[in-house]
Structure 1
Amino acid sequence: VDVPEGLRDGVAIIEALNHLKPGSIEKYEKTPKNIFSKATNIKLINEALIKLAIDPQDLPNPNDVSSGKSDRILVGLIARITGQSSSKTLEVAPEAVVKEKQIKFETIQKTRKERSAKKIERGRQAVKATIRAARYEREYRVLRTQPKILQKEAAKHGSFYVPPEPKVAFVLRLRGINGVPPTQKKILQLFRLRQIQNGVFVKINKATLNMLKKIEPYVAIGYPSVGIIKKLLLKRGYGKQHKQRVPLTSNAIISAGLGQYNVHTLDDLVHEIATVGKNFTKCNRFLWPFKMNSPRGGYGRSKLRHFAEGGHAGNRMHLINSFIKRLL
């Protein structure tokens, strides 16, 4: 629909309204020079038409008229005004009807503002998340390359480089409850490993190392890489929301559960788990224990033997990565 520019600035419509009902709009922009003054005229027109019992849903958006997005609504509005003005005068609607229309119009305007604000906020959060993800990637790159550099430096000086101890482990339960002593059973419960093929992340310290040594014959232990942690959360990650097990299908779920700890996206959650940040415990408690599949190809006959003896139980260090891939 082609609408003349003179109608889009609202001046012609205001003059028509004042001609049909004198004094409808007294103060307005007679020569609007920018989109803001044009939008102001359209707002005045909408307020005047609400008093004439025009439905707010049939009124154009002031911000869209000058750009031509509301041309069809504008043409329909002009047709309604001319249709109501066959007697050359416009009748004012009853006060109750005007008040109802006004409330409806204000509700629509409030909803539009809220949607617009949410859209802007989502855009800001997306930009911040992208910046944080890039910073995390640089940090991971340094963690991968720094040991090799320090090892070469130590070799030049005839010394040795001892890499730092891992900070986080992934623990997978391999055995049921039959024949498990009470102490080991209680430790498995404390780690939230209540079923076979359940897996959790565990922070490595003196206390947890002693507990892991006691349950070593019943679990598989290893130190996962950043990539494997991200795959686990993407494919098997579930969060705790209102005491329910909810899949991590969007960042909104993570933000709702951990936003107060400045963890809003999957990259934030992976970084907190991989680096054992100050909110590791909160993030780990938010995550539901992983329910893993049996490994592709099966366990074989040596499931409960130690890994050093050809089985699957015990600590397999960084070889846990290939094992987790078989479980996904």
Structure 2
Amino acid sequence: MAEEEPKPLNYIPEVILKKRRNNEEWAIRRKQQLEQRIRRSKGDNFVIKKPEQFIREYRDRELDLIQMKHRSKRKKQALLTPESKLLFIIRIGGKTDMHMKTRTILYSLGLRKIFHGVFVKANERMMGILQRVEPYITYGYPNLKNVKDLIYKKGLAKIKRQIVPLTDNNIIEQTLGKYGILCIEDIVNEIATVGPHFKEVTSFLCPFKLNKPEKALHGKKKPYKDGGDAGNRDDQINELISKMN
């Protein structure tokens, strides 16, 4: 019997072989990256949420929206005195239990993170806004000492998308000099007196990153006057500021 001739091998171009090797190497790298990501997630106490947890969080957010609407219908709080023009607001809570509308209001105030604080002008409109997000904030009327301490110790500025400390008066003059504000003392005065360029100065400043106070906050959403943490503290906000500065 005649021997069968060997079948000719199919020729695979070198370009295709190279592409195949690259694809295989990419697949291996991708697999390794995903495995590392999973390991890091587990290392950070990563927990896959159960369906009932999603349901509970959804209900909490919907309840927050209903309560916000009820709060907005309440009579707005009166200002402490006609001379009290300055408020300092501190965000003290709010994560998965907040409705998106609540988060939007907090973000519009510059309070993106817990234990951040901002100065705002006290007026009827602002009191109405704060009333809507009251369970997640506390606020009151800061004294001159705390205004100075906050700005000198924790003051940061936003300049061309960069965060810089208030250590150089030249930076202040370059940005706010057209308003007659040339140094950090001018910033303190403009904030404390709620001057004509208060809005420009507060826009120049970053939210103040405060320290978590020991034993000063207990996570209670009840109003401060009822034994909780939230809402208006009037001039008693100064005690809390001192503990967080």
The answer to whether the 8 Å contact 1:307/1:316 transfers is yes
Letter in 2 for 1:237: G
Matched, 1:208 2:208: no
1:312, distance to aligned residue in structure 2 (A): 1.6
Unaligned runs of 5+ in 2: 1-79
Partner SS, residue 190 of structure 2 = helix
Larger Rg: 1
Partner SS, residue 148 of structure 2 = helix
1:298, distance to aligned residue in structure 2 (A): 4.9
Partner SS, residue 295 of structure 1 = coil
Matched residue, 2:228: 311
Quote the Cα distance in structure 2 between the aligned partners of 1:255 and 1:227. 23
The answer to whether the 8 Å contact 1:239/1:287 transfers is yes
Which of 194, 199, 207 lines up with 1:289 in the alignment? 207
1:163, distance to aligned residue in structure 2 (A): 4.6
Unaligned runs of 5+ in 1: 1-161
Matched residue, 2:115: 197
Superimposed CA distance per residue, residues 37-86 of structure 1 (whole angstroms, 9 cap, x where no aligned partner): xxxxxxxxxxxxxxxxxxxxxxxxxxxxxxxxxxxxxxxxxxxxxxxxxx
Quote the Cα distance in structure 1 between the aligned partners of 2:118 and 2:139. 10
Quote the Cα distance in structure 2 between the aligned partners of 1:222 and 1:163. 12
Superimposed CA distance per residue, residues 58-117 of structure 1 (whole angstroms, 9 cap, x where no aligned partner): xxxxxxxxxxxxxxxxxxxxxxxxxxxxxxxxxxxxxxxxxxxxxxxxxxxxxxxxxxxx
Quote the Cα distance in structure 2 between the aligned partners of 1:227 and 1:253. 24
Matched, 1:227 2:145: yes
Instruction: Give the aligned length.
Output: 166
Matched, 1:164 2:95: no
1:204, distance to aligned residue in structure 2 (A): 1.4
Q: Which has the higher contact order (CA 8 A, sep 6+)?
A: 2
**1:90-129 correspondence runs (5 A):** none
The answer to whether the 8 Å contact 1:174/1:304 transfers is no
Quote the Cα distance in structure 2 between the aligned partners of 1:324 and 1:260. 31
Judging by fraction of residues, say which structure has more helix. Answer: 1
**1:1-328 correspondence runs (5 A):** 163-300=81-218, 302-328=219-245
1:165, distance to aligned residue in structure 2 (A): 4.1
The answer to whether the 8 Å contact 1:240/1:257 transfers is no
Partner SS, residue 209 of structure 1 = helix
Quote the Cα distance in structure 2 between the aligned partners of 1:303 and 1:267. 37
Letter in 2 for 1:241: I
Q: Which runs of 4+ in 1 moved over 4 A?
A: none
1:181, distance to aligned residue in structure 2 (A): 2.2
Change (3 A) 1:247 1:303: farther
Q: How well do the aligned residues superpose, as a CA RMSD in angstroms?
A: 1.6
